[in-house]
Amino acid sequence: MDDLAIPAGKAIAELKTVLGDRLATSVSVRDHHSHDTSRLKPHLPDAVAFPRTEEEVQAIISACAAHGVPVVPFGAGSSMEGHTIPVRGGITLDTREMNKVLEIRPEDLLAVVQPGVTRKQLNVELRETGLMFSVDPGADASLGGMASTRGSGTTAVRYGTMRENVLALRVVTPDGTAIRTGSRARKSSTGYDLTHLFVGAEGTLGVITELAVRLHPIPEAVSSAICAFPTVAEAVEAVIEAVQYGIPVARVEFLDEVAIAGVNSYSKLDLPVAPTLFFEFHGTPAWVEEQARLAEDITRSHGAIGFRWTTDADERAKLWQARHDLFWATKAIIPGYDLYTGDICVPISRLAESIVAARADIDASSLKGQIIGHVGDGNFHTAYLIDPNNPEHLREAEELADRLVERALVVGGTASGEHGIGMAKLKFMRREHGKAVDVMKRIKTALDPLGIMNPGKMGDAG
């Protein structure tokens, strides 16, 4: 890739002098950056840059802007909808060497980090403070990537998503300028909210070079509970009532009967095979006990079969480990098969019917599949088991996932609760957002007139 006749070649040659070995053009490095965890067709970048500082990010973007070369930001590579695939080549900007926790301010409940810091790394560095970073998307994603996809996970019902947990940013915009958004204050009424514009922009408006994120006190006591229900509707009704009652559940996860069967088999548990809720409560010892008791009353009034709760750390760990191992448990249902996942979020009033319809769709298909959900938010995932060598399976899974989204949009929901648009869901942008897509495009053009930032993604929705 040292062909100076092509624009990328010129940018690469210029950047070699800035980055040296940290500008890789080997096929192995480029191959590693050609895909994410989705099943979308990989595409090689022309080179991969590993900047360490904001100044280096500026140099990369300036060189790419000068030669009209695409820049594709890359965090941990754990995105799920094709976000980081460099479909038009160019330079992938991997933030893994921007991995310093710059500042921890316990009094302000915030930490300042570089974008390549992962959530687990941050929580290790917070060990002595009594504080935690709450957002947990499952994968040990980078915070820059989590911010860019507006990630969330199991704790969002209590502590919020990246939308609520990013307080301020530093960003290099597509002309190479470094700006800061937000401040160190918890709230502000000054200026357009650029922080929230870059959070969720999937790298199409600039590169995040620093994040100030909120921290939360580690609760003094934690308790977990589990209960099964005769029907999905009763499980969801129980969640709605618990939330309306004001019980501040820290997590409430739904697993359908197929998921429970998988968990039982894989994690050696003997849970009743029925729609099930996993609860977690955070607070003082007395308060988590009261929360669990209130939740028990509510779930029983909605027909719950048993309600097992525990503050025992080992038993709790075992339960949540089973939840976290669900991916592997499901894969194990048919050895050699892969999972194809769906992700939507609906108003919680429409959640039960949405899950029931998703289940009926799976049952009417030739595929096996399960449904799990962060039900306090109305967000749920389907996972379809497919034979990776059977194109018919892939086609059928795509169809099921699309139908899921179409139904979500009909009931006022969204095409993605937490996995994002990437490339896979570009086709739904206009359906979900209507004419607002034109406003988004005007913003994209205003900030990135050359269209170099992660082209072929959200900024280019049709």
Please list every residue from 213 through 272 that binds a second copy, using CB under 8 A. 216-217, 219-220, 240, 243-246, 248
Q: How far apart are CA 53 and CA 98, in angstroms?
A: 7
Interactions with a second copy, residue window 174-213 (CB under 8 A): 177-181, 183-194, 196-197, 199-201, 205
Q: Radius of gyration (Cα) for the chain, nearest Å?
A: 23
Q: Which stretch binds a second copy (CB under 8 A): 20-28, 35-43, 327-335, 343-351?
A: 343-351
CB contact at 8 A, 84 and 22: no
Q: Does 440 bind a second copy (CB under 8 A)?
A: yes
Q: 192-217 burial by CB neighbour count: b if 16+ within 10 A, else e? A: eebbbbbbbbbbbbbbbbbbbbbbbe
Smaller CB separation from a second copy, 216 or 331? 216
Q: How far apart are CA 275 and CA 292, in angstroms?
A: 19
Smaller CB separation from a second copy, 287 or 327? 287
3 state DSSP class of 124? helix
Q: Which stretch binds a second copy (CB under 8 A): 25-33, 57-65, 282-290, 357-365?
A: 282-290
What count of other Cβ atoms lies within 10 Å of the Cβ of residue 65? 20
Which pair of tokens denotes residue 456?
Answer: 């072929």
Q: Does 35 bind a second copy (CB under 8 A)?
A: no
What count of other Cβ atoms lies within 10 Å of the Cβ of residue 35? 18
Smaller CB separation from a second copy, 321 or 445? 445
Among 275, 432, 452, 456, binds a second copy (CB under 8 A): 432
| Helix, strand and coil percent figures for the chain, each rounded to 5 | 40, 20, 35
Q: Does 106 bind a second copy (CB under 8 A)?
A: yes
Residues in the chain: 462
Q: Does 416 bind a second copy (CB under 8 A)?
A: yes
CB of 150 to a second copy, least distance (A): 5
Among 425, 452, 453, 457, binds a second copy (CB under 8 A): 425
Interactions with a second copy, residue window 116-155 (CB under 8 A): 130-131, 149-152
Which pair of tokens denotes residue 286?
Answer: 């007395």
Among 261, 310, 433, 450, binds a second copy (CB under 8 A): 433
Element at 451 (helix H, strand E): none
Q: Does 302 bind a second copy (CB under 8 A)?
A: no
CB of 35 to a second copy, least distance (A): 20
